Amino acid sequence: MLINSTMSGKKELFLPIHDNRVNLFVCGPTVYDNSHIGHARTYIFFDVVARYLKHIGFSVFYLQNITDVDDKIIDRAALQGISPRLLARTFEEKYREDMQALGVTNINYYARASEHIAEIISQIGRLIEKGFAYETQTGVYFDESRFGDFGKLSHQSLEDLEKHRIEPDPTKRNPGDFSLWKKRQDGPEVTWDSPWGKGRPGWHIEDTAITENYFGAQYDIHGGAMDLIFPHHEAEIAQMEATSGKKPLVRFWMHTGFLNVNGEKMSKSLGNFTTIRDMLQKFDADSFRFFVLSSHYRSPIDFSESALDQSRKSLERIRQAAKAIEEELERRRTSADEASQENENARAGLSEFRTKFLDAMDNDFNTPYALKAVFELVREVNRRINERSISKESLIEAGQLLDDFGRILGISFSVAQAGQSVSSGNNEDKTGNLIELLIDVRQKLREKKDWALADEIRNRLSEQGIVLEDAKAGGGRYSIKLSE
């Protein structure tokens, strides 16, 4: 399996750090407003990444952060006359509802920044001890001049980066130094005590503190939109590699292209965005997923209602083929005329289409070519049904292929399932994918006597219908059972 690495700019063989276990992290939202469909493009794609990796036998732990501490949240809450925590929780809940509506169901854990302040403070302290960060009157900053590899992900030199003025502050040593801790006195919901005074974390440090806590200093895949490459992901690399002394932070950096409107990137700052909720008032989630996956994830795509309408029509062609398979099987069941099943052509299998689909996905998750294989299957099945040259076994195989392809892409190809999110697997699969990493994570927390966070993981899983129980014997092992 080949994945294009943003770092190297080429496709590389995918080999996880820990055998068949994959640790995947994707930057989550800053919860001060409803998420827009540009965000949805990224989250749909990485949902498919998780689905496919599970399909081919990997155990995947997909972690996403929630930025619930941010100046934008504080400013928006002040305008609305409510607390920052209430605003953040409100839009976090709406974000989760949006993801559920879109069939983005493979995120194993949402880690709030506000619940990882201890980890953030710990990482900042280690950066100061190692000489990579310093304190001023306004906060703590990362000294980018001390990290020789700064700019390696975006392929820019420090001289090139000097053109960017990040967080202007006369107390900083270098214009590009970014904040790790902001000294503030804005109240208990958004400030915490630290060795450097009351304040709150900078944006970049949240992610590396969170991933270090759950994955350690290195992990397999980090995803996000391409506009996060600089400065956010460059900062993450600098923070974690400086803290741990280990390289690389991430084996594979994957970035999605922009979702554009009239040639411009969709963004809240430009005011040209459509929220996920508004889009779903006009179009169904499957059609939107089909629209997103019809383009390669690294390519820009142009959003328009006509493009979504075309995706809806294309999806309908596949569903009509699935319906034709069901109807033909029913006809065979009730008809005495089985002569058409006896020739050699009728017995020819359809495995070539599975091979084409899997080959496309193995080639840097090439979903447009995977969909091409789906349509080739549809054409072949329709032709053979019309010619009465397909066996019952091949009809069953074709139906199973469409079910498998739809499950991987998170799209209901069956008419009967239209409008329902497609599960990435049954409960046993889900439990099997989680158990090994859950044991490692909770055991690590318990060894550090971080009982509160260990309990929080257990409680969050319980909310999702999975009960994690500490075994009273067995050397710290756990039993997992589905809640009723």
- Tell me the average confidence (pLDDT) per consecutive run of 10 residues in the chain, 484 residues long: 96 95 97 95 98 97 97 94 96 97 96 97 98 97 94 81 65 92 89 96 97 97 96 97 97 96 74 89 96 97 93 96 94 66 57 96 98 96 92 92 97 73 53 57 69 73 61 41 42
Strands 478-482 and 109-112, bridge-based pairing: unpaired
140 in Cβ contact with 181 (< 8 Å): yes
10 in Cβ contact with 49 (< 8 Å): no
8 in Cβ contact with 423 (< 8 Å): no
pTM value? 0.85
Q: Where are the domains of the chain?
A: 17-282, 311-409, 427-482
* Tokens read off for 328: 């033909």
Element (H, E) at 130: none
Instruction: Kindly report each contact of residues 383-390 with a partner whose C-beta sits within 8 Å and lies 24 or more positions away, as own/partner.
Output: 384/345, 384/346, 385/324, 385/325, 385/328, 388/340, 389/340, 389/343, 389/345, 389/346, 390/328, 390/340, 390/341, 390/346
As a dihedral over the C-alpha atoms of residue 102, residue 111, residue 225, residue 32, rounded to 10 degrees, the angle is 80
pLDDT score, position 430: 47
41 in Cβ contact with 292 (< 8 Å): yes
As a whole number of angstroms, the distance between CA 362 and CA 95 comes to 30
Give ∠ CA 445-447-449 in degrees, rounded to 5: 70
Helix axes 234-244, 203-215, angle to 10 degrees: 50
* Tokens read off for 341: 């099943």
In single-letter form, the type of residue at position 312 comes to R
Q: State how far Cα 332 lies from the chain centre.
A: 43
* CATH (one of 3.40.50, 3.30.1450, 1.10.1740, 1.20.120) for 311-409: 1.20.120
346 in Cβ contact with 359 (< 8 Å): no
pLDDT score, position 258: 92
Sort 449 into a burial class: Cβ within 10 Å, 0-12 / 13-18 / 19+.
Answer: exposed
Sort 227 into a burial class: Cβ within 10 Å, 0-12 / 13-18 / 19+.
Answer: middle
312 in Cβ contact with 337 (< 8 Å): no
Backbone phi, psi, residue 411, to 5°: -125, 135
DSSP H stretches of helix in 186-304: 203-215, 234-244, 276-282, 285-293
pLDDT score, position 479: 42
48 in Cβ contact with 408 (< 8 Å): yes
Instruction: Please name the residues in contact with 74: beta carbons below 8 A apart, sequence gap of 6 or more.
Output: 84, 186, 190
pLDDT score, position 438: 63
3-state secondary structure of 11: strand
Write b or e for each residue in 172-191: b if 16 or more Cβ atoms lie within 10 A of its Cβ, otherwise e.
bebebbbbbbbbbeeeebbb
* Tokens read off for 400: 């199973």
pLDDT score, position 476: 40
As a whole number of angstroms, the distance between CA 451 and CA 429 comes to 28
Give ∠ CA 458-89-108 in degrees, rounded to 5: 35
Fold of 17-282: Rossmann fold (3.40.50)
As a whole number of angstroms, the distance between CA 353 and CA 318 comes to 14
Listed in order, strand segments (DSSP E) in 250-330 are: 250-256, 259-261, 264-265, 301-302
As a whole number of angstroms, the distance between CA 221 and CA 56 comes to 16
Instruction: Please name the residues in contact with 116: beta carbons below 8 A apart, sequence gap of 6 or more.
Output: 206, 209, 210, 213
What's the order of all strands across the beta sheet hosting 59-66? 109-112, 59-66, 21-26, 219-225, 250-256
